[in-house]
Structure 1
Amino acid sequence: MSIKKSIVAALIFGLIAGTAACGNSGGVKESGLSNIKTIKIAYLPLTHALPVFVEKELQDKKENKYKIELVKYGSWPELMDALNTGHVDGASVLIELAMKAKEQSIGVKAVALGHKDGNVIVVSKNIKSPSDLKGKNFAIPHRQSSHNILLGQMLKNVGLSYKDVNIVELPPPEMPAALAQGQIAGYSVAEPFGAKSIALDTGKVLFESNELWKDSICCSLVLSDKFINSNKDVAKEVVSSFRDAGEYIGSHKDEANAIAKKYLNLDDKVLTLSLKWISFNDLEITREAYDSLTSKIKEFGISSNPPAYDDFVDSSLLR
């Protein structure tokens, strides 16, 4: 064979080998032994979503069957649209929004609590009791939320109802400024936005959530039925690691705080206050806690037909 032909043959062989290698590189570990599944998890930048941030950071340091890709959204409607249309595999989300999606025949399952407790009723300093809110503006992030239930329960305890206050829905980041400017007299929302008003000394805590509703459920980790059914083993690992991330937050506070700052850009005072009210241990959604939630959803007119525990909650992935 001539030198020219030998060079051509070598080039052709190299091209074929390179093409084959490129075809196998996507979604494969460097060892080439197993595929890595990428799971897209939607979130809003909230302290309540800390377990998904911690899980991602811990998973990035280990060899796994899966990789978490966090997808940030600016509002609950945007996030739910992504979840409902299959643009993400799961989400850290207000559980009532996921329940409403299930009512509308969207294939989703709640697989773990996002946190326990961790909500506060924040009011302006001149508000002494819930009765002082009568006729005033009170903000919640969404009608389909535990914050709405907390408002309803607080009013009920003093003989009032929703009709006695002017309920407004505001994006969470706008609430501290609205309170400071006197546009609203109080609000209830996911952290860290309650802590911000306290840190700025423009508001005060009237109630913590556990004073109004013991073992209240707020946010949850939700996965799509499609993802669970197609990736059962991986789904179990994701949920198990999520639970472990919750335990890690309690036992590695400095590391968890550093991760929270990375995703939330909070100063120390706001973060410390925010985490003071929240627990991330024992994140199983129990039937008892869920039944309490559905009872209050019906009582306060949020939904007349919330999904049953067995239809909506998949606790098997956490065990």
Structure 2
Amino acid sequence: MKRIILFLITAIIIAGCGHREPVEDDVIKIGYLPITHASPLYFLEDEHLDSAEMELVQFGDWIDLMDALNSGRIDGASVLFQLAMKANEQGIDVKATALGHEDGNAIIAGHDIESAEDLAGETVAIPHTLSTHNILLDEMLQSEGMSYGDVNVVEMPPAEMPAALGEGRIESYVVAEPFGALGVTLGTGHVLHQSHEFWPNCLCCALVLREEFLDEKSELASRFMNAYVDAGQRADEDSEGSFAIHQSYMDIDEEALELSLDWISYDNLDINRDDFEYLRERLVDLNLSEDPPTYEEFVDPSFMEEM
């Protein structure tokens, strides 16, 4: 019996000294929706994280993604700023470490809509009340001397919006890419405005990580963030290889994807304090949040400052 026990102990030690696959502790799980706004994630490669692995976890909607993030089933996500801020406000330990993208938020309207004034009394779709797209709608209306109540706002799954516009169920929509570009290339609508026309540098999607992950695996978090910034640079490249990577993650035709990428950039993923403060103000103005987190409470700029 002693010989058997000694043999088993020796075998375990030898196995431990040999090559091993990364265990679950060596894996970082990042959630995303298959949209153009999450593109830097598509360019991450395992070798940038040394012995660790990164697992991209695809979700079909923001509700399921946020449930996984809030419960700790994933370590982080590319997600709407407002949803993550609301989670932080409610005590969920998430921090924004970088932007998901810049620009890439078009307001699409039916062909008979030539200005915001034409939308009076009409239905406009947004993906979620807690979204930059909802605030963008209000910004556009204010710029035309209108109010939020002048239109009928409905929440709708983004993938449904181009068809809904073509069928006349809505007259306009504001949403993440590539669904705006799809409305244009399918011929169901046209660009009424781009976000930079009335809200330059609007914050739409953020890369957020759970504080538990940041605290317990700081070295892995640092390697991941270095890889993420590099991935943003590659996502911004105008090349066949870059285009192919985008297309492998999004089931979209080439014309729509090309237009979508023309509207968006990933080369500067820093979260600007002034832009964040303006977002906080607008959340309160629209009664979307009573006490949104401050920059210090929600944003961790340390990784970007080190680069």
Q: TM-score scaled to structure 2, two decimals? A: 0.92
Specify the alignment match of 1:315 in structure 2.
301
* 2:157 corresponds to 1:209: no
Equivalent residues of 1:236, 1:318 under 8 A apart:
no
Deviations 1:261-291 (A, max 9, x none): 1110221101101001101011011211111
CA distance in 2, matches of 1:234, 1:252: 30
Specify the alignment match of 2:15 in structure 1.
21
Q: Taking structure 1 as reference, are residues 259 and 36 closer, same or farther at Cα in structure 2, changes over 3 Å only? A: farther
Specify the alignment match of 1:47 in structure 2.
36
SS in 2 for 1:251: coil
Q: Taking structure 1 as reference, are residues 188 and 22 closer, same or farther at Cα in structure 2, changes over 3 Å only? A: same
Specify the alignment match of 1:95 in structure 2.
81
Q: Taking structure 1 as reference, are residues 239 and 81 closer, same or farther at Cα in structure 2, changes over 3 Å only? A: same
For 1:17, give the aligned amino acid.
A
Alignment partner of 2:276 out of 286, 290, 293: 290
Deviations 1:77-130 (A, max 9, x none): 110000000000000000100000001000000000000111000000000100
Farther off after superposition, 119-128 or 298-307: 298-307
Structure 1 unaligned regions, length at least 5: 1-8, 30-34
Equivalent residues of 1:36, 1:64 under 8 A apart:
no
Specify the alignment match of 2:175 in structure 1.
189
Farther off after superposition, 97-106 or 62-71: 62-71
Figure out how many residues of one structure are paired with residues of the other and give that number. 302
Q: Taking structure 1 as reference, are residues 236 and 147 closer, same or farther at Cα in structure 2, changes over 3 Å only? A: same
CA distance in 1, matches of 2:237, 2:247: 17
CA distance in 1, matches of 2:207, 2:42: 12
SS in 2 for 1:235: helix
Structure 2 unaligned regions, length at least 5: none
Specify the alignment match of 2:110 in structure 1.
124
Equivalent residues of 1:48, 1:219 under 8 A apart:
yes
Farther off after superposition, 283-292 or 63-72: 63-72
For 1:96, give the aligned amino acid.
Q
Specify the alignment match of 1:267 in structure 2.
253
CA apart distance, 1:175: 0.6
* Correspondences of 1:24-103 after superposition (within 5 Å): 27-28=21-22, 37-55=26-44, 59-62=45-48, 64-103=50-89
SS in 1 for 2:291: coil
Alignment partner of 1:138 out of 119, 124, 138: 124
Specify the alignment match of 2:97 in structure 1.
111
SS in 2 for 1:40: strand
Equivalent residues of 2:107, 2:174 under 8 A apart:
yes
Q: Taking structure 1 as reference, are residues 285 and 65 closer, same or farther at Cα in structure 2, changes over 3 Å only? A: farther
Equivalent residues of 1:136, 1:165 under 8 A apart:
yes
For 1:189, give the aligned amino acid.
V
CA apart distance, 1:298: 2.0
SS in 2 for 1:156: helix
CA distance in 2, matches of 1:20, 1:170: 57
For 2:37, give the aligned amino acid.
H
CA distance in 1, matches of 2:216, 2:37: 28
CA distance in 2, matches of 1:28, 1:149: 43
CA apart distance, 1:252: 5.5
Alignment partner of 1:247 out of 233, 258, 262: 233
CA distance in 2, matches of 1:103, 1:195: 33
Specify the alignment match of 1:3 in structure 2.
none
Specify the alignment match of 1:6 in structure 2.
none
CA distance in 2, matches of 1:36, 1:102: 24
For 1:192, give the aligned amino acid.
P
CA apart distance, 1:24: 7.3
CA distance in 2, matches of 1:256, 1:81: 31
Farther off after superposition, 67-76 or 292-301: 292-301
CA distance in 2, matches of 1:262, 1:118: 19
